[in-house]
Every structure is written in structure tokens, then in C-alpha cells.
């Protein structure tokens, strides 16, 4: 048995000897005028005592009480306290307890003898100290001297239910306000352990406690689907668990947990994560977002809200059976980012319908707010978590305002394919690209020195010169810093294209760098692209002599292409 510490109160009232016994165990008795000492002896394992004494109580009883404690192997120490007649004195009593009670100790509390209001102060203080100093209360006892005729044995009542009531209140409130179910699960496990000791069938209560604990872990992580599945399992064992209990408090706690679990639980048909996405599941997830907002867990709310937007688009696109497949989710994310990027351009503002602009603004707002927390505030401007609730409520209002048609992401079809290529002083590779690809339009990045070759290349390839959009750089060997200007120059051409072929060959290294920057912008705008290389296996001298010989096209990779593999990371 672990070493226990008695914490007791003594008043100034004269006391008579009595024969005490623990309620429920009348065979073992102890004679004394001090119920607190009887509690220490009868409970067992008590080696030290801290006794709260007013000045009058010390004069009336301390010397006698201390001698009797020592005679029974208990080392007693007096803790002088005021009468507790006003708030200042009550706080002094609390401070005395806080400085006296050892950390991580196991306490036996006796509240039999004291001024009537002091047990309330003592119990409230100890309820706090169980958290602040991690003390454990083995029992709260009261010698019911006035409940029996004078001379009869006096029962010592166990009032530990008070602490259980306080603990269960704290556990339930913690779960309701934060999603943390550790204390609640511990309370349920204690109930199950008590039933097990009485040989009652407790498998359903154990299962219920495990489900509640899994719900808590999943909510604070956050894992909304896992939380929903665990809540569903808890709901299914709840009635069986309640039937085991004859404790009104335990039944009340489980009754209070029931609507919380029901609100989190996935639909009854789901037995694992392989269930189809439905409008009801979307509503459940959005309710969880609001739950996180209410508890001020803004990082979790934003994390889930972002995924919820993706889910809405997946359901609208009839991908409800594959909604957890990474490739499908990545595809929707790319399209959402591309939608927002398009909405920022002149062409996008003019061509996109109003619902698409709503969705683009919502996606950008959620992404910006989420990134403030996802990157732990690692940005130059300060992150005001206390103001995020207002921003989140605005985002939820935007969510409610998004048209149902917006979730069907628009596909802008122009019917145009565009080739983008660098052009140096060798015309053969561009000539081969025009002949092999036959694009609807061409964007060329070149220098003033090479520009005169364009008319001849078009003539040889029988390609219309007016279909070319030429972006000139100042120095083809050092034009790296000109990439942003060229990207801006060609953005409208990219937006007017259904697909892009990017020629990785031809021109200088600097020109190829600029072409790649244009290709990255096309990918950001959601334009499907193919990276290609033109190959002319003839000797260099022969290529210079006869540049207009059609070479071969090698496709290197595809990006944003409908049948392209998804990226490995997110």
C-alpha cells in the first residue's frame, strides 16, 4: 500500500470519545475523540498528517491530538490558518495548503471537525491541487457523530463521490470544450475496473471507453474521419454500457457524452475508411470545422476546411468512391490553385463565371490563413491568433455563400495547343518542332540577332507567321533576370491554350531557363503541358549545311496532363 498523508481540520468545540468504524466495515473499530485520527488508523497506510487549525482550535486540541497521532505511528504537523471569514482569509488558507501538501502525494481527507465553511474551502482547494500539484485523493471521510444515539459506534462515511463529481465535471467539460478525452476515458476505465472487480460483464464499457479515447486523440490531432469512425463505434456500445451502471452520476455522464459522439459520428453504414463521400458526410465535416472554431482551435479548423473544399469539388465531380485517393485529391488541388491564378488575370476575370470567382477567393483565403499556422508563423508579418476567429467566421460565411454550381470546377476549352520554344542561331530544331507538332500557336523566346530567321523557318515549315508570338530578350547569353518580364508578356497566350508543348532543345542555356520559367507559370495556371526534345542525329556539319531536315520528337514528361501520374509529395 502506498504511503498516504492525512489532511484534516480540527475545530475548537469540546469532543467526546467515540468508537469509530468505516461505513461498510463495522467489525474493525477504533476508540478516540478525534474522528480524523480514527480515519487515519482505519483507512490504513497513513504515516503523516497535516492538520488545519485556527488559533482557538490549536489551543483546544493540538497537544492531545498530536500525542495520540504519535502513539499510533502518525507524525502530525500543525498548519495554522485564519478563520476564513472573508475572501482574503480564504485565499490565505488556500496558500497554506498549496505550500504544505507534497507534490505527487496520495491524500486521505477528513472533514469531521471544523468551522462549518472550512470543509468547503478545503475540498475546493484540493480539487485544484489535484491538477496543480498532481496529488491523488484516496478518500474524503466524515465521522457522522450526530447520526447515531450517544454511546453507539459512529460510522465514518466515505464522501469521495464529491471528488468523483468534480473530476467527472472537469472531464466532461474538457471533452466538450477542447475535444481532449483523456480524463473522460480515464473516468470510464475506472468505472469498468470497478465493475470488473464485482464480476460484472464489462466488455461493452471497456469498448466504450476505448472508443471515447480514440475520438479524443483523433479530434486533437486532427483526424476527422478516424474521429467519426471511433464515435460511431462508441454510439453502438453506449446503450449496453449504460445498462451496466447503477450509479446516477455515471449514467448522467454517459448521457451527456451521447449527443457529442452522435454529432461527430460518421454514417451508420461506415465500418472503415472505404466508404463513399456523401452530402451528409460533408455536412458532418463542416460541423467539425465549426466545433474547432468554437474551441478556438483555429489551426485545426483551417486544416479541415481546406480539405473540405477539396471534398466538395470531388463530390461535385462524381468522384465519391475515390475521394481519399491521393491522385484524385492532388488533381483537384492543382485545379483549385490554377483557378485562383486564372482569376487574377485579365483574361480570367473576363471569362470565368461568378461562381468560379467565389470559389477561387474562398480557396485563396483558406490557404493563406492555413499557411500562417501550418508554417508555425514563419513569415515576416505577425500572426494574430486572437484575430483569426473573425477571419475564420468570414471564411465560413463565404462558404455558405458559394453557389452549388461553383464546386464543379470549370474547364476552359479554347481548342488551342501552343508550342513554346527558344530560338538561337540554328533554325533546324524549331523547324522540326513546327512540322512535327503542328500547333495552333507558337510562343518563341529569342534575341534580336535570331529574330530574322523566323520568317524563313515559317516558310520552310509551311507554318503561318501570324500564329507566332515572339518575346525578345536583350542578351541571349545573360537573360536569366528577364524571365519574369517574359512570363508576364506570354501569360495571356498561356491562358488561351488548352495544352502546351515545351521544347527543351534549341537556343542558349539562358534562353532555355526563360522557357522553363514560362512552362512553370503554365503549370501554375493549370495548363496541361508536355515537355519535348527535338533530336537530329546527323553530324553537326551536315545540320549546318542543311538545317531544314525534319528531326525526331522525344516526349520527356507531362505535367497537369489528365493521364499523368500524380506528384509523389503534397
pLDDT at position 129 is 79
Question: Which H or E run includes 255?
Answer: helix 248-264
Q: How far apart are CA 550 and CA 535, in angstroms?
A: 9
What is the band of 199 on the pLDDT scale with cuts at 50, 70, 90? Answer: low
In the block, cell 475564420 appears at: 392
Query: Which DSSP string do the residues of 407-461 spell out, in sequence order?
Result: GS--------EEEEEEE-S--HHHHHHHHHH--SEEEEEEETTTTTHHHHHHHHH
SS (H, E, C) 489-523: HHHHHHHCCCEEEEECCCCCHHHHHHHHHHHHHHH
Q: Are 490 and 441 within 8 A, CB to CB?
A: no
At 553 the three-state DSSP class reads strand
In tens, the pLDDT along 224-251 reads 999 999 999 999 988 888 887 777 888 8
Between residues 253 and 20, the one the model is more confident about: 20
Q: How far apart are CA 297 and CA 288, in angstroms?
A: 11
Q: How far apart are CA 1 and CA 455, in angstroms?
A: 98
Q: Read off the pLDDT of each residue in 147-167 and give the average, rounded to a whole number.
A: 83
Q: What angle do CA 44, 50, 52 make, to 5 degrees?
A: 125
Q: CA-CA-CA-CA torsion for 100, 104, 110, 116, nearest 10 degrees?
A: 60
DSSP state of 33: S
Whether the pLDDT of residue 395 is over 90: the answer is: yes
SS (H, E, C) 478-491: CCHHHHHHHHHHHH
Q: Are 427 and 547 within 8 A, CB to CB?
A: yes
pLDDT at position 160 is 79
**Which of 299-303, 404-408, 452-456, 482-486 is the least confident region?**
404-408
In the block, cell 453502438 appears at: 236
Q: How far apart are CA 220 and CA 235, in angstroms?
A: 20
DSSP state of 404: G
Whether the pLDDT of residue 464 is over 60: the answer is: yes
Burial 191-220 (b: 16+ CB within 10 A, else e): bbeebeeeeeebebbbbbbbbbbbbbbbbb
In tens, the pLDDT along 280-339 reads 999 999 999 999 999 999 999 999 999 999 999 999 999 999 999 998 998 899 889 888
Of all residues in the chain, the percent with pLDDT exceeding 90 is 58
pLDDT at position 568 is 34
What is the band of 353 on the pLDDT scale with cuts at 50, 70, 90? Answer: confident
In tens, the pLDDT along 525-554 reads 888 999 999 999 999 899 999 999 999 999
Whether the pLDDT of residue 254 is over 70: the answer is: yes
In tens, the pLDDT along 161-185 reads 767 777 788 888 899 899 999 989 9
Q: How far apart are CA 556 and CA 529, in angstroms?
A: 11
Q: How far apart are CA 467 and CA 410, in angstroms?
A: 27
Whether the pLDDT of residue 42 is over 80: the answer is: yes
222 preceded by cis ω (within 30°)?
A: yes
Q: How far apart are CA 146 and CA 156, in angstroms?
A: 11
Considering only CA atoms, which of 511, 562, 343 is closest in space to residue 502?
511
Whether the pLDDT of residue 47 is over 70: the answer is: yes
SS (H, E, C) 185-198: HHHHHHHHHHHHHC
In the block, cell 502546351 appears at: 500
Q: How far apart are CA 365 and CA 340, in angstroms?
A: 10
pLDDT at position 334 is 85
In tens, the pLDDT along 433-455 reads 999 999 999 999 999 999 999 99
At 470 the three-state DSSP class reads strand
Cell numbers that stand for 141 in this block: 471521510
pLDDT at position 338 is 86
What is the band of 567 on the pLDDT scale with cuts at 50, 70, 90? Answer: very low
Cut 0.85: pTM above it: no
Q: How far apart are CA 92 and CA 83, in angstroms?
A: 10
Q: Are 262 and 238 within 8 A, CB to CB?
A: no
Whether the pLDDT of residue 519 is over 80: the answer is: yes
Q: Read off the pLDDT of each residue in 133-153 and give the average, rounded to a whole number.
A: 86
Q: How far apart are CA 391 and CA 142, in angstroms?
A: 54
Question: Which H or E run includes 473?
Answer: strand 468-473
In the block, cell 466524515 appears at: 142
Amino acid at each position: 500500500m502506498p504511503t498516504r498523508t492525512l489532511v484534516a481540520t480540527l475545530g475548537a468545540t469540546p469532543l467526546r470519545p467515540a468508537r469509530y468504524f468505516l461505513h461498510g466495515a463495522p467489525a474493525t473499530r477504533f476508540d478516540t475523540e478525534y474522528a480524523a485520527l480514527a480515519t487515519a488508523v482505519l483507512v490504513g497506510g497513513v504515516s503523516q498528517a497535516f492538520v488545519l487549525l485556527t488559533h482557538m482550535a490549536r489551543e483546544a486540541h493540538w497537544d492531545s491530538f498530536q500525542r495520540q497521532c504519535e502513539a499510533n505511528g502518525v507524525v502530525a504537523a500543525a498548519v495554522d490558518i485564519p478563520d476564513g471569514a472573508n475572501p482574503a482569509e480564504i485565499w490565505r488558507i488556500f496558500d497554506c495548503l498549496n505550500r504544505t501538501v507534497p507534490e505527487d502525494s496520495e491524500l486521505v481527507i477528513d472533514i469531521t471537525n471544523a468551522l462549518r465553511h472550512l470543509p468547503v474551502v478545503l475540498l475546493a482547494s484540493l480539487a485544484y491541487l489535484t491538477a496543480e500539484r498532481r496529488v491523488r485523493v484516496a478518500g474524503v471521510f466524515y465521522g457522522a457523530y450526530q447520526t447515531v444515539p450517544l454511546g453507539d459506534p459512529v460510522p465514518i462515511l466515505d464522501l469521495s463521490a464529491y471528488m468523483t463529481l468534480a473530476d467527472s465535471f472537469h472531464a466532461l467539460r474538457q471533452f466538450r470544450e477542447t475535444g481532449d478525452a483523456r480524463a473522460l476515458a480515464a473516468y470510464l476505465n475506472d468505472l469498468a475496473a470497478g465493475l470488473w472487480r464485482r464480476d460484472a460483464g464489462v466488455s461493452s464499457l471497456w469498448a466504450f471507453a476505448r472508443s471515447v479515447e480514440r475520438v479524443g486523440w483523433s479530434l486533437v490531432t486532427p483526424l476527422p474521419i478516424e474521429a467519426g469512425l471511433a464515435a460511431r463505434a462508441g454510439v453502438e456500445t453506449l446503450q449496453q454500457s449504460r445498462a451496466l451502471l447503477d450509479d446516477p452520476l455515471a449514467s448522467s455522464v454517459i448521457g451527456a457524452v451521447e449527443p457529442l459522439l452522435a454529432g461527430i459520428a460518421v454514417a451508420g453504414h461506415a465500418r472503415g475508411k472505404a466508404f463513399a463521400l456523401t452530402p451528409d458526410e460533408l455536412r458532418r465535416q463542416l460541423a467539425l470545422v465549426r466545433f474547432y472554431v468554437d474551441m478556438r482551435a483555429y489551426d485545426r479548423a483551417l486544416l479541415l476546411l481546406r480539405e473540405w473544399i477539396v471534398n466538395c469539388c470531388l463530390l461535385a465531380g462524381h468522384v465519391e468512391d475515390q475521394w481519399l485517393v491521393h491522385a484524385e485529391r492532388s488533381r483537384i488541388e492543382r485545379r483549385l490553385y490554377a483557378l485562383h491564378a486564372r482569376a487574377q488575370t485579365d483574361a480570367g476575370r473576363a471569362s470565368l463565371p461568378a461562381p468560379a470567382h467565389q470559389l477561387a477567393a474562398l480557396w485563396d483565403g483558406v490557404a493563406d490563413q492555413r499557411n500562417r499556422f501550418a508554417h508555425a508563423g514563419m513569415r515576416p508579418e505577425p500572426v494574430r491568433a486572437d484575430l483569426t476567429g473573425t477571419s475564420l467566421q468570414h471564411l465560413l460565411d463565404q462558404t455558405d455563400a458559394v453557389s452549388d454550381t461553383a464546386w464543379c470546377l470549370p474547364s476552359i476549352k479554347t481548342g488551342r495547343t501552343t508550342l513554346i520554344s527558344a530560338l538561337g542561331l540554328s533554325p533546324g530544331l524549331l523547324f522540326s518542332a513546327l512540322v512535327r507538332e503542328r500547333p495552333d500557336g507558337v510562343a518563341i523566346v529569342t534575341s534580336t540577332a535570331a529574330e530574322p530567321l523566323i520568317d524563313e523557318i515559317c516558310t520552310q515549315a509551311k507554318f503561318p507567321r501570324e500564329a507566332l508570338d515572339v518575346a525578345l530578350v536583350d542578351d541571349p547569353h545573360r537573360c536569366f533576370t528577364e524571365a519574369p518580364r517574359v512570363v508576364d508578356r506570354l501569360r495571356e497566350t498561356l491562358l488561351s491554350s488548352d495544352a502546351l508543348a515545351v521544347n527543351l532543345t534549341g537556343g542558349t542555356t539562358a534562353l532555355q531557363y526563360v522557357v522553363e520559367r514560362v512552362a512553370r507559370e503554365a503549370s501554375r495556371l493549370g495548363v496541361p503541358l508536355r515537355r519535348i526534345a527535338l533530336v537530329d542525329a546527323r553530324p553537326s556539319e551536315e545540320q549546318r549545311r542543311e538545317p531544314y531536315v525534319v528531326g525526331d520528337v522525344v516526349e520527356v514528361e507531362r505535367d497537369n496532363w489528365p493521364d499523368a501520374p500524380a506528384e509523389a509529395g503534397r
